[in-house]
């Protein structure tokens, strides 16, 4: 794992303070990316935290400081306002109206702070018939059509992650505009829209060709699939006609290559043809090892990769070449984190520290804004105070 890192003081968002009222995946990912780029991120949270979310917390909250505040108390509210007064950006991932209940909504803050960037992430948006609906990744997958296209994407919170990246990008743009004009703005990002963006080619195809376009472009294509081998599986992507011929050549499938029914991509996607092609390919690939088949197909110019597990992926020399991973202390051991997936001039950005313990920096941060011991005792969030529901 790489020891290279870009000094935090040189990050492009240096000097930007972000007050982070987010939870779960999408919101914390967005603010973590801002922190990776050099912003100072202060996470405001409740003292109670579900232990089942521990690894999510570790992987989505590096480079931040954490304070606990009881937002339901006048003192906690006042402290939150005092923190916001020192910041350029506020980020929230609660349902529309929740922050307003604490007196911390956009309409509460922006009139007195026209230079403030107020960013909100919600399931469906601030307006419209679904605005108040509760949401999570899998709900939005189903609601947006994504699940019907290819089944549930279970292991990865694909919609949450996409929405978080979208929000971070939008905030960076708002910061740039603020630097130019001195004006802040409201930034709104939505899980539902993120899920639709993931399906942009399918939606475009549907608008022109109707429902059949989805089957032809995705589910019906037989040579962009996972195929069994002697010791596992490979994924082959043979989209073009010359890919198809090269694939058949490597596998010795002359009969398939010469069959006029399969000569074009359109022909290969027809349901009866696609089933016959898949059956023939699976029978052929199952006589190869994954490594030998991958090497032969790459030599022939066909896109292919072994279907790998985490042990294989983390040991990949390309991971080391890209300085993709780093380790930070975690209790008596360490936890492996994925670095920011970009660099400037070939130098990775710093993972300056692990995810903070809940409230780890409460005293430190409040002292920085002038609070004394008595004031700090009155504002800290007591254990058992629930976080606002998403």
What is the bridge-based pairing of β-strands 232-237 and 224-229? antiparallel
CA distance 117 to 175: 8
Counting every residue written for the chain, the total comes to 390
Model confidence pLDDT, tens digit, residues 112-170 = 999 999 999 999 898 888 888 888 898 888 888 888 877 777 788 889 999 999 999 99
Q: Which residues, including other chains, have CB under 8 Å from residue 156's CB and lie 6 or more apart?
A: none
128: alpha, beta or left? (left if phi > 0; alpha if psi -120 to 50)? left
Model confidence pLDDT, tens digit, residues 322-335 = 888 888 888 888 88
Angle between helices 191-198 and 158-181 (to 10 degrees): 110
Res 218: pLDDT: 43
Question: Concatenated DSSP letters for 19-44?
Answer: EEE--TTHHHHHHHHHHHTT-EEEEE
Q: What does pTM read for this prediction? A: 0.85
Res 18: pLDDT: 98
Model confidence pLDDT, tens digit, residues 5-19 = 444 456 899 999 999
Res 384: pLDDT: 40
Q: Grade residue 3 by pLDDT with cuts at 50, 70 and 90.
A: very low
Once rounded to an integer, what is the mean pLDDT over residues 11-31? 94
Ordered domains of the chain (ranges, CATH): 8-200+324-379 (3.40.50.10540), 221-312 (3.30.1540.10)
């Amino acid at each position: 794992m790489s020891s290279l890192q870009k000094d935090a003081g040189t990050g492009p968002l240096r000097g930007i303070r972000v007050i982070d009222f987010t939870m779960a995946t999408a919101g914390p990912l967005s603010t973590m990316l801002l922190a990776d780029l050099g912003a100072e991120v202060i996470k405001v949270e409740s003292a109670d935290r579900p232990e089942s979310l521990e690894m999510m917390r570790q992987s989505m909250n590096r480079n931040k400081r954490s304070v606990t505040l009881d937002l339901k108390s006048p003192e906690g509210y006042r402290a939150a306002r005092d923190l916001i007064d020192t910041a350029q950006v506020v980020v929230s991932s609660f349902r529309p109206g929740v922050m307003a209940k604490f007196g911390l909504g956009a309409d509460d803050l922006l009139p007195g702070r026209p230079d403030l960037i107020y960013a909100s992430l919600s399931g469906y948006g601030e307006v419209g018939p679904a605005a108040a609906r509760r949401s999570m990744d899998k709900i939005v997958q189903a609601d947006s059509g994504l699940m019907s296209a290819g089944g549930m994407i279970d292991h990865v919170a694909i919609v949450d992650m996409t929405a978080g990246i979208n929000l971070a990008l939008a905030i960076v743009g708002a910061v740039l505009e603020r630097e130019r004009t001195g004006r802040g703005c409201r930034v709104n990002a939505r899980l539902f829209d993120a899920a639709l963006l993931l399906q942009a080619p399918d939606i475009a195809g549907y608008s022109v060709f109707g429902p059949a376009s989805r089957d032809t472009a995705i589910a019906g294509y037989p040579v962009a699939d996972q195929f069994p081998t002697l010791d596992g599986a490979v994924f082959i992507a043979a989209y073009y006609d010359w890919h198809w011929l090269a694939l058949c050549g490597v596998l010795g499938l002359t009969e398939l290559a010469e069959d006029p029914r399969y000569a074009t991509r359109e022909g290969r996607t027809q349901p009866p043809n696609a089933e016959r092609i898949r059956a023939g390919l699976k029978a052929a690939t199952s006589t190869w090892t994954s490594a030998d088949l991958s090497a032969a197909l790459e030599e022939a110019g066909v896109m292919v990769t072994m279907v790998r597990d985490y042990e294989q992926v983390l040991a990949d020399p390309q991971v080391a070449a890209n300085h993709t991973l780093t380790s930070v202390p975690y209790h008596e051991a360490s936890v492996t984190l994925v670095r920011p997936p970009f660099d400037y001039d070939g130098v990775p950005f710093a993972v300056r520290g692990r995810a903070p313990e809940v409230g780890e920096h409460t005293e430190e941060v409040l002292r920085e804004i002038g609070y004394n011991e008595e004031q700090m005792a009155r504002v800290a969030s007591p254990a058992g105070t629930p976080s606002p529901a998403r």
